[in-house]
Each structure stands twice: as structure tokens, then as C-alpha cells.
Amino acid sequence: MVQLFAMQHITPHYINSYWGTEHGGMVLSCSYGNVDQPLKPDTTMYNYPWIAFQAWISTDDEESGSAHRQVTGQDDPGEAVITAPWPYMARTTWGDASRIGHSSWMGDIERFKSTYFSRFNQPVFFQGDVAVSYPDGRFSLHGRSDDVLNVNGHRVGTGQIEASILRDKLRPDSPIGNCIIVGVEDEMTGQTPWAFLTLMPGSKLLPADQRRLEQNCSKDIGEYAIPSEFIVVDDIPETLTGKYMRRIVQKIVQGRDVGDISSLRNPESLEAIRRVISKVTQPRNMPETGKASNIVSAITSQSNNAPAMELDKIVEELQIIIDEVAGVHVEPDMPLMQSGLTSLGALKVGRRMKSAFSFEVPATLVFDYPTVNAIAALV
């Protein structure tokens, strides 16, 4: 989104580059005026000829990293690696200070090797970034590799989802101020993304806005990348240098101690986030789901504040939601899972129902009440 904005409003020759301190200089960029490396409004870059940049994914042995495959398409993010050295890269990390200046001084070479060369048990430089490779030789970066989620077997970087949501800011009427994504454990998909949003002054996140954000994520990445929660907060914790602290927010979601927060610019934001999360997670503190009686009890307890709706209106609303998610018309008495609705689609139905009917929908609802009419009667 930044690249697109800059090319439209600053200069069509806005060049984005990638490097780290350890690299000693730029690794990926775009050469000005090179017709073989055209600038595109998607923050993609090309490696310099002497930089052997690739994206790898572990395969057979995830723990030791001894097996991998190179990513050559844009469908899956991989670990950014460099497979050959270059003259100005880092050669060690600071250490062994008492021997500095001695001909045999190597700094803390063991730490250097374990930090940057141990990921795949091969002599490749690894810095912990997520890269997507494109067939024409371009690369794009999508945050840190420890921020990659595994949603129902699909790998997706939190940065990818954030970019899709923040693309909404290109609209003049967008309510979105900023966004971070954190991964949350989920009993059905393994992990699920939660979106924490700040809004523009005086704005509200309306159901139509949320549906538009969901559509952006689905179109840009896939349905599995749609956040299961869109949580509006007043502020996002960040360091004095402006870095958003996603891990701290994730620890709050997990109910863990956030640790040292002395580097935060806005530590008061943490308690506000705790209060918001407690409201979001409260409906999940229910008896074991999967049993009809428990689901009825859980939904009934939440529906006291929901607006009253006639059954035919509920059926109509549900029919629109389910038809849109399934991509076909589903007869009111047809079992949803026989209509081609996937498990991810079932989760999406639950999210849409939550937005439409103003209460938390248990993840197993469409399995326990498998038709439009059955769900409508329950609601």
C-alpha cells in the first residue's frame, strides 16, 4: 500500500529496498530506469546480481531443518535465505573483547553461526524474514518468520494480512487507522488470525467495513487469511522507535505475563487491550461445545441483548450469508456440508453470523445444526 501511494502521489519512480545491518548494504531493490526490472505498485524488489537470494520452506524434518524446498511461486511464503557470501556482509558478532586486536580474534563466532546459519543445517544465511518469490524474479518481504501462522495447513505471514487490511486506507472513506495481526490457537484450524485495529478519529467499524476487509483478505490471499476477530482498540503498544509489539498483544490474548515493558512508548495501552480482549473471549468461556444443549444454552445466554427478528427475516439473512460463502444457492433444508461448504467456510459463516446477529457463534454450530432452517430456528 505504501508503494502504491508513493507511486501515485510522490513520484512514479519511488524505489523500495531491503537490507539489514548484518547485510552491510542493500540486498533487494529496483534499478532506476531498468526496463528489465519494472517498478510495480506492490513493494516487490529484485536481488542484486551478486546476492544469491531465495525463499525456502522446511519440508520433511521441521525440527532439524535438514530438508527444504525452494519457493518459486507466489502462493506460499518462505524463509528469506542467502545461499552464498558477499564481500561486505557481517562476519561475526561482538564477543571475546579481551582479545580484540589479536590476529586470531573471531568475536562470538559460535553465536554468529547459531543465529544466522543454523536454520536449515546448511551454510545459508538466515535472518528470520518472510519472503515471497515471483516467477519473474521479484521478491516481496512480509515481516518476521516467527510471525508466520499455520491456518488449517496454509502458511501465511501476519504482514500479508496486515497489508490486505491496510489497503482499505486507499479509500477516502476508510475508517482504518492502523492494524496488527496476531496468531491465536484455534481448535479447528490450529491457528487463526486476530486483527487489532485503530480507527481514524470519529470513525466506527461498521459491518459493511468488516465485510470489505474480509473480502480484501480473501481476494489477496485466500479465505484462510480472514481474521476470525476484528478488535477495535484505542492504541497499539509500540516501542519508542515506533515498532509495534505484536508479541506483547499475543501474550495478553494467551493470558501470559508480558514481561519487561520499559521500552514501550505507551504502556497504558496494555490494560485497555486486556479489557477489550476479556469482552471478546468471555463468550468462549462456555461448557464443552459440540453438544446441542450446550450450544443452545450458550447462544440463548447471549441473545438477550440481540435485536428481535422474525424467523423469516432470520432465514433470509442466513440464506444470503450462506449462499455468498458457499458460492452457490443452498436450499434451506440441504445439509450445509453437502453443499460444498468447507470447514473454513463454516468458520466464515460463523463470523458473518456474529456480525449480522450480534452474538458469539460457537465454532461447531454448522455441524450441530446443519441446515439453514435449523440454524434459523435456533437463532
pLDDT digits (tens, 9 = 90+) for 14-68: 888 888 888 888 899 888 777 787 777 667 788 988 999 988 876 655 444 456 6
Q: Amino acid letter at 103?
A: S
Question: Which residues are within 8 A (CB) of 205 and not within 5 positions of it... i.e. 6 or more apart?
Answer: 175, 197, 199, 230, 232
Q: Is domain 2-143 classified as CATH 3.40.50.300?
A: no
C-alpha cell at 275: 479489557
Q: What is the pLDDT of residue 237?
A: 93
| Same fold: 152-284 with 292-378 | no
Mean per-residue pLDDT, 114-126: 83
Q: How far is CA 101 from CA 24, 98, 104, 110, in A?
A: 21, 9, 8, 19
The residue among 321, 316, 352 whose CA lies nearest residue 339 is 321
CATH topology of domain 292-378: 1.10.1200
Helix (H), strand (E) at residue 192: strand 190-199
Best CATH choice for the domain 152-284 from the list 3.90.79.10, 3.40.190.10, 3.30.160.270, 3.30.300.30? 3.30.300.30
Q: Amino acid letter at 28?
A: L
Half-sphere exposure of 208 (CA within 13 A, CB side): 3
Residues 153-189 have pLDDT tens digits of 787 888 889 988 998 988 899 999 999 999 988 877 8
Would you list the domain boundaries of the chain?
A: 2-143, 152-284, 292-378
Which residues on neighbouring strands pair with residue 182, listed in sequence order? 194
Residues 142-154 have pLDDT tens digits of 777 767 788 887 8
Q: What is the pLDDT of residue 68?
A: 66
The answer on pLDDT for 290 being more than 80 is no
Query: How far is residue 27's CA from residue 12's CA, in Å, rounded to a whole number?
Result: 22
pTM of the model: 0.60
